[in-house]
Structure 1
Amino acid sequence: MTRAVVYTRISADREGAGLGVERQRQDCEALAEMLGWTIVETFADNDISAYSGKPRPGYLAMLDTLEAGNADAVLAWHADRLHRSPAELEGFIDLCDRKGVVVRTVQAGEIDLSTPSGKMTARIVGAVARHEIDHARQRMVAAHAQSAKNGGAHGRVPYGYRAVREGAKVIARVPDEETAPVVREIARRVMAGESLYSIAADLTERKISTPGSSEAWRASIMKQMMVRPTYAGMRSHHGVVTQGSWEPLISPEDHAVIVSLLNDPKRKTHRGVEPKYLLSGIAKCGVCGDPVWRLKSNGHSAYACAKNRCVSRRVEPVDRLIEAAVISKCESMSGVEDLVDASVLDATQEARRLRAQLDSFVDRAAEGELTAASLSRIEARLLPQIREAEQRAKSVLNPLVTDLLGSNARSRWEAMSVTSRRHVVRSLMSVTINRGGRGRAFRPEFVRVEWL
């Protein structure tokens, strides 16, 4: 009785159901029945390339079985299911030679590795398989380069998008209704100056789904996400950036700002201590002008100037006063035009339009449609206009503030982290705490708010 093991493998299981290895197994079992062999064990590696370099658990387990002398033969659908690496093939030949193992395939018949001619046949089959895969890789590289040039999507569908499929094939990626707003929120908060650690902590606390299997957001993963040109609707291939065929989640201009902020070497990369108090270091002392800090006073938390102790006001009523003022202000406004002058908005839009126009000329020059001299003349004309428009747009609106505008200001404020609330306060007002009053009763008139 010949004891045989069956080995099956498929490089890419596009159907995701293991149907490829199942069909191979059925053909091998039919061959075993025809030969009168008994199958003692079946090994499979589904969705694993023999050329990828990744460990193949099924293949390694089969080698252990052969080494232990528990099988006399190997059945495979084709020799290239076993190997596509010459080095791996040599190890297999040595094992089969030592153990007297016979190899039979459904497609190529018997490969007798105990004879010189059988070994030569196996090596020729392996060389042909290697030749085929090298050509396939060459075609794949060319296809990727052409796809990149045409702006086609590549790789896994990133967080913030979902796949549109035609059968098993992904034909497009579109913004995901649940996760795309998360990407946009992260972008706004980074541009507003909030740290990645505080954003990550807030998203984790709110139980927002993450890009991976972890339930907690990580600042390092968030940075990797936000510097990707994918979210600006662009694709990078070997350092060359082209316009993508999918809808961007953030504008190219905002993406450039985010990349600059996150790659700034002056930016803090350690966690640090996140603030716990709304006005600590923000509000000023009305006597000496120094910032006030949260200090202990008579067993209570108070805002006081640390140097001279000119003023001291309990934290809770001051915070309630400022929160009510911010919410009331934002509820009364319906859009950004209520916060900034229309000329500032016009200048911002003009600067972005000119930047986009210049970028299009640069792209045309890269494609050979414009000469370097022509591009230089265009830059000489557009760059001064861009700088002038950007100078007029010097009033930058905090995205966290725009999120608060309208009737839902209170609920949105309550959902914000302390760090985000502090950014809002800095953007909207200056707060001064004055000396005066006796007794423990809080008097709002000694806290002065000036809208910026």
Structure 2
Amino acid sequence: MDLSGMQRLRESLVGLRAGLYARKSAYQGKHKAKGRSVKEQLDNGQTTANELGVHVVEQFVDDDRSASTYRAREREEFERMIEWIEGGKLDIVIAWSSTRLQRDLAVYSRLRDACKRHGVLWCYGGKVYDLSNKDDRFRTGLDALIGEREVDEMRDNILRTLRSNAVDGRPHAQAAYGYRRIYDARTGAFICTEAEPSQAPVIVELTRRVGNFENRTKIAVSFNKHGVTPPTRHWTKGMVKKLAAWHPGLAENEDIHPDWLARIEEAVDLRQEARDRLDADEDPVDIARDFIDRDEPLIMARWISATITAYAIDERYLGYRSHLGKVTNKEAWPALVDKSDHLRAVAAVKKGKEKRKYNQRPGKVIHQLSTLMICDICEIPVNSDKQHGYPRYSCAAPAPEGQKGYHAQRTGLDRRSLR
């Protein structure tokens, strides 16, 4: 566009209300880079807005969000932008490129139609598009089609690479607990996977103990008491809740190493922050993500029975590389456990599941009337537990505010009392 054309365009847009949209896909573990890319997009969008003479009234940012048909999560800010368009609050949407707005033809059509109905312009790559104009619809539609195809092609290439790596025994994602990877110091190329000296013996021990039918919870507690570093890689919402509820008088403190207790006691500010943010109704998942971004130490990480079970039956520790549930290479890396120990652990876990399946009734059933009775208020099955040593039946739905207990509750009730 020549100088006079740009001047006329600017004059026609002056005073319009603009919304800046920015998006970045998954960071694949590079949390310290989060926010950088979207900031660059927003800065560029503000520069474009200044050049066009439009007034930015709102910013819409979907950080760590995909726009493809394979996205795992919806884009909350994109949806909010649609609401602003349909609410008549915007006159033009500015983005870095077409692929920042969408990589899915269905989403493109939805956004295009909303903008067409409400007379909202698009601007990306420095060019303004009027969606009521057939030529502009064709151009933006072609860009959307190209963007969607790029995603499909990238996905196909990734899947081919994963299949090839699986057959060759090359690693995928992070190294499993018990192993470490060796890379060339000069080129950074992957060389091999080898046993991690401080972790491999832990895998050997837990596999043998599970195979000997030891209680997995007790195994986890013994690891925690002896200060065996757990395999936890990042904060979870459960860890945030435990941090907020922690105090020196907890009985469970006896089941963890003294050095771990000392680290928790020293983290006074972090404990208070967790309590304050939960009291303010902040989602514990968001708090956990924030702690991850800040590299807060994993002071609440623990061994649990589920982890003990998963590691005891994991074929990776036989040296196997699997892909989509199928073993593709049986000599991908050094085996940490003997096959006989592995098979005994698998058999022990399987037998435990069968015992629970055939010797227990559904749910937390302890007494004969559990799940047979139904609460007449909430229609939840009445289950059983013990209170002060006596059987108690309750529906587990809290009673109305100001009242104690549950809708349906009876202590010391058994079958004979109902005759």
TM-score after normalising by structure 2: 0.56
Q: 1:204 to 1:94 in 2, by over 3 A?
A: farther
Q: 1:102 to 1:180 in 2, by over 3 A?
A: farther
1:93 aligns with 2:112: yes
Q: Which residue of 1 aligns with 2:215?
A: 195
Q: Which residue of 1 aligns with 2:159?
A: 141
Q: Which amino acid aligns with 2:60?
A: F
Q: Which residue of 2 aligns with 1:318?
A: none
Q: 1:143 to 1:42 in 2, by over 3 A?
A: same
Counterpart among 229, 233, 237 of residue 315 in structure 2: 229
Q: Which amino acid aligns with 1:115?
A: N
Q: Which amino acid aligns with 2:310?
A: Q
Give the deviation of 1:269 after TM superposition.
4.1
Q: Which residue of 2 aligns with 1:117?
A: 135
Q: Which amino acid aligns with 1:182?
A: V
Where in structure 2 are the equivalents of 1:319-358 lying within 5 Å?
none
Where in structure 2 are the equivalents of 1:132-281 lying within 5 Å?
132-161=150-179, 171=190, 175-176=195-196, 179-203=199-223, 209=230, 211=232, 213=236, 214=239, 215=301, 217-238=303-324, 239-243=326-330, 245-264=332-351, 267-269=354-356
CA distance in 2: counterparts of 1:180 and 1:24, whole angstroms: 45
Decide which moves more: 131-140 or 43-52. 43-52
Structure 1 contact 6–74 (Cα < 8 Å) conserved: yes
Q: 1:222 to 1:7 in 2, by over 3 A?
A: farther
Give the deviation of 1:264 after TM superposition.
4.0
Structure 2 contact 321–330 (Cα < 8 Å) conserved: yes
CA distance in 2: counterparts of 1:262 and 1:206, whole angstroms: 24
Counterpart among 90, 101, 122 of residue 103 in structure 1: 122
What's the secondary structure of 1:159's corresponding residue? coil
Q: Which amino acid aligns with 1:47?
A: D
CA distance in 2: counterparts of 1:262 and 1:35, whole angstroms: 67
Give the deviation of 1:58 after TM superposition.
2.7
CA distance in 1: counterparts of 2:66 and 2:331, whole angstroms: 29
Q: Which residue of 1 aligns with 2:51?
A: 34
Structure 1 contact 43–58 (Cα < 8 Å) conserved: yes
Q: Which residue of 1 aligns with 2:387?
A: none
What's the secondary structure of 2:328's corresponding residue? strand
Q: 1:249 to 1:25 in 2, by over 3 A?
A: farther
Q: Which amino acid aligns with 1:33?
A: N
RMSD: 3.3
Give the deviation of 1:223 after TM superposition.
2.6
TM-score after normalising by structure 1: 0.52
CA distance in 2: counterparts of 1:195 and 1:179, whole angstroms: 21
What's the secondary structure of 1:250's corresponding residue? coil
CA distance in 2: counterparts of 1:93 and 1:8, whole angstroms: 17
Structure 1 contact 13–46 (Cα < 8 Å) conserved: no
CA distance in 1: counterparts of 2:181 and 2:100, whole angstroms: 31
Give the deviation of 1:140 after TM superposition.
1.1
Q: 1:219 to 1:95 in 2, by over 3 A?
A: same
CA distance in 2: counterparts of 1:59 and 1:241, whole angstroms: 41
Where in structure 2 are the equivalents of 1:18-33 lying within 5 Å?
18=34, 19-33=36-50
Give the deviation of 1:176 after TM superposition.
4.9
Structure 1 contact 234–244 (Cα < 8 Å) conserved: yes
Where in structure 2 are there 5+ consecutive unaligned residues?
1-14, 240-300, 360-419
Structure 1 contact 196–223 (Cα < 8 Å) conserved: yes
List per-residue Cα deviations over 1:310-347 (Å, max 9, x = no partner).
xxxxxxxxxxxxxxxxxxxxxxxxxxxxxxxxxxxxxx
CA distance in 2: counterparts of 1:4 and 1:163, whole angstroms: 49
Structure 2 contact 19–90 (Cα < 8 Å) conserved: yes
CA distance in 1: counterparts of 2:197 and 2:160, whole angstroms: 34
Count of aligned residue pairs for this structure pair: 270
Give the deviation of 1:76 after TM superposition.
0.9
Decide which moves more: 244-253 or 115-124. 244-253
Structure 2 contact 211–347 (Cα < 8 Å) conserved: no
CA distance in 2: counterparts of 1:60 and 1:179, whole angstroms: 46
CA distance in 1: counterparts of 2:182 and 2:224, whole angstroms: 28
List per-residue Cα deviations over 1:388-438 (Å, max 9, x = no partner).
xxxxxxxxxxxxxxxxxxxxxxxxxxxxxxxxxxxxxxxxxxxxxxxxxxx
Where in structure 2 are the equivalents of 1:340-379 lying within 5 Å?
none
* Higher Rg: 1
Q: Which residue of 2 aligns with 1:57?
A: 76
Q: Which residue of 2 aligns with 1:11?
A: 25
Structure 1 contact 27–106 (Cα < 8 Å) conserved: no
Give the deviation of 1:153 after TM superposition.
0.9
CA distance in 2: counterparts of 1:269 and 1:224, whole angstroms: 18
Structure 1 contact 3–39 (Cα < 8 Å) conserved: yes
